[in-house]
Amino acid sequence: MKYCELSREELLVLKDETEKRYIEFKRKNLVLDMSRGKPNKEQLDLTMDMLDCMKIDSYDTITGIDSRNYGCFEGIPEARKIMGDLLGVDSNNVIIGGASSLNLMFDYVTTAMLKGVCGHEPWSKQGKVKFLCPVPGYDRHFAICEYLGIEMINIPMLDNGPDVELITELVKDSSVKGMFCVPKYSNPEGKVFSDKVVKALAELKPAAPDFRIIWDNAYCVHHLGEHDDELLNIIEYCAQVGNPDIVIEVTSTSKISFPGSGISCIAASDNNIKDILSRMKIQTICNNNINQLRHVKYFGSAQGIREHMNKHAAILRPRFDIVLEMLENELAELGIAKWGNPKGGYFISLDVMDGCAKRVCQLSREAGVVLTNAGATFPYGIDPNDRNIRIAPSFPSVEDLRLASELLCISVKLAVLEKMLTK
Ligand SMILES: Cc1ncc(COP(=O)(O)O)c(C=O)c1O
């Protein structure tokens, strides 16, 4: 029965019962973490053979450069090819970075602020700089903007991606210089941008000629079911519609091999690649070529990576199912929360009754389960409706996840009952 259909007396009884359950949980002295999207040990174990696959006779790349030495600062050719194939981009339009795509995004935006993009004036010298931020979104994108003093504008995520009508309107302002997107299995909602949305974004005609979409394709092969969803190839489409420079794509193997020890890449048009390389030449002599070769030897091809991701899906799916089943059993009929059923990525996005998300996180934390801070999925850490909570089911063990998600549901009920009863 929906909470809104209950009398005050009935709500009071429910609150009393829920408080008792909550206190029982507190007594368990749990120390659990559902806050960050980290692979679990089982997933990390999958790629352990990678550490042994370098006992080989030659460390030369296909172009004959010894990968143990300086060289190939844009990445070894075979790594550029695999990552290019993964994204559907020519290898000449792919640069391999270090272990982190976040680092590539940070460097890109920072350089745009300081030096400008493709010969344009530095963003920071053109007055106010604004970014469009689909919400809920990835807190570390927002952190980059906040750090650099870029004003962020919330763009609601709709079912098939961000609100492109609003975006089309807002890019008429030349101080809007960019936008972050997680187009496939978005963080935190797990949504996949439809072809229509991808096309509309690729066809944008912003007032700022130096506007860039940062296409963070972190979850490009991270499906949870048996099949991977299709995302329209934005780089290809941008070229087709004569807008090749508008997009900068990044991804990494952080959640394919090892977070912090994988390889990342940035893919873009000829102009953008030339621009990025001109800065990278100053920044580094080369990245970790041995690690690039290790990834090439281990996975063999983009298809090898895709096949490997089925193993991750098999480990992750049951964890997501535990949380989703708990939400369904505990909350579905109460009309106090909504959540998505992601087909990929690392998160479940939970919307609770307005004004309750912070309290839910507080109650969970006080009983031993850490969730991502309420508000973190919005610029400046401010969720205007105090509604969204990002759940990360990947890391805890299956048993811990059962406990943690039950406590989460109890915390949701308690926070909502408190709110309804103080009205
Ligand atoms: C959307 C998104 N982009 C980037 C990252 C970080 O990737 P990397 O390890 O390549 O820096 C994450 C990590 O959770 C993420 O969720």
Q: What is the pLDDT of residue 261?
A: 98
182 within ligand 1 shell (Cβ under 6 A): yes
pLDDT of residue 92 exceeding 80, the answer is: yes
Q: What is the pLDDT of residue 27?
A: 94
Sheet strand arrangement including 337-339 = 337-339, 348-352, 388-391
102 within ligand 1 shell (Cβ under 6 A): yes
CATH, domain 3-43+307-422, list 3.20.20.210, 3.40.50.880, 3.90.1150.10, 2.120.10.30: 3.90.1150.10
**How many angstroms is it from 137 CA to the middle of ligand 1?**
12
Q: What is the pLDDT of residue 314?
A: 97
**How many angstroms is it from 353 CA to the middle of ligand 1?**
29
**How many angstroms is it from 272 CA to the middle of ligand 1?**
22
pLDDT of residue 423 exceeding 80, the answer is: no
Share of the chain above pLDDT 70, in %: 100
Q: What is the pLDDT of residue 308?
A: 97
How does residue 5 score in pLDDT terms, banded at 50, 70 and 90?
very high
**How many angstroms is it from 102 CA to the middle of ligand 1?**
6
37 within ligand 1 shell (Cβ under 6 A): yes
101 within ligand 1 shell (Cβ under 6 A): yes
**How many angstroms is it from 369 CA to the middle of ligand 1?**
23
**How many angstroms is it from 349 CA to the middle of ligand 1?**
17
Nearest residue (by CA) to ligand 1, atom 15, is 218
pLDDT of residue 210 exceeding 90, the answer is: yes
pLDDT tens, position by position, 318-373: 999 999 999 999 999 999 999 999 999 999 999 999 999 999 999 999 999 999 99
pLDDT of residue 11 exceeding 90, the answer is: yes
**How many angstroms is it from 218 CA to the middle of ligand 1?**
6
Q: Which atom of ligand 1 is found nearest the CA of 138?
A: 1
Sheet strand arrangement including 212-216 = 94-96, 264-268, 247-252, 212-216, 176-181, 130-135, 151-158, 161-162
CA 345: distance to chain centroid?
8
CB-based contact 62:83 (threshold 8 Å): no
Site to substitute for ligand 1 among 36, 216, 253, most atoms within 8 A of C-beta: 216
Q: What is the pLDDT of residue 128?
A: 97
Give the mean pLDDT of 1-30: 95
Q: What is the pLDDT of residue 36?
A: 84
Q: What is the pLDDT of residue 273?
A: 98
Q: What is the pLDDT of residue 1?
A: 87
CB-based contact 128:134 (threshold 8 Å): no
Quick one: tokens of 265?
Answer: 């890449």
**Bridge partners for 254 per DSSP:** none
pLDDT of residue 134 exceeding 80, the answer is: yes
**How many angstroms is it from 247 CA to the middle of ligand 1?**
18
Sequence ranges of the domains in the chain:
3-43+307-422, 59-300
Give the mean pLDDT of 220-249: 96
Nearest residue (by CA) to ligand 1, atom 12, is 218
How does residue 57 score in pLDDT terms, banded at 50, 70 and 90?
confident
Rounded Cα distance, 34 and 338, in Å: 18
Report which residue type is found at 331.
L
CB-based contact 183:217 (threshold 8 Å): yes
pLDDT tens, position by position, 251-303: 999 999 999 999 999 999 999 999 999 999 999 999 999 999 999 999 999 99
Nearest residue (by CA) to ligand 1, atom 14, is 37
218 within ligand 1 shell (Cβ under 6 A): yes
Share of the chain above pLDDT 90, in %: 96
**How many angstroms is it from 101 CA to the middle of ligand 1?**
6
Q: Which CATH class name applies to 59-300?
A: alpha beta
139 within ligand 1 shell (Cβ under 6 A): no
Give the mean pLDDT of 114-126: 98
CB-based contact 258:308 (threshold 8 Å): no
Nearest residue (by CA) to ligand 1, atom 2, is 218
Give the mean pLDDT of 105-122: 98
Give the mean pLDDT of 170-196: 98
pLDDT tens, position by position, 39-56: 999 999 999 999 999 888
Q: Which atom of ligand 1 is found nearest the CA of 254?
A: 9
Q: Which atom of ligand 1 is found nearest the CA of 219?
A: 1
pLDDT tens, position by position, 304-323: 999 999 999 999 999 999 99
Q: What is the pLDDT of residue 342?
A: 96
Q: What is the mean pLDDT of the chain?
A: 97
Nearest residue (by CA) to ligand 1, atom 6, is 102
Q: Does 59-300 match 3-43+307-422 at the fold level? A: no
Give the mean pLDDT of 209-235: 96
138 within ligand 1 shell (Cβ under 6 A): yes
Quick one: tokens of 380?
Answer: 């400046």
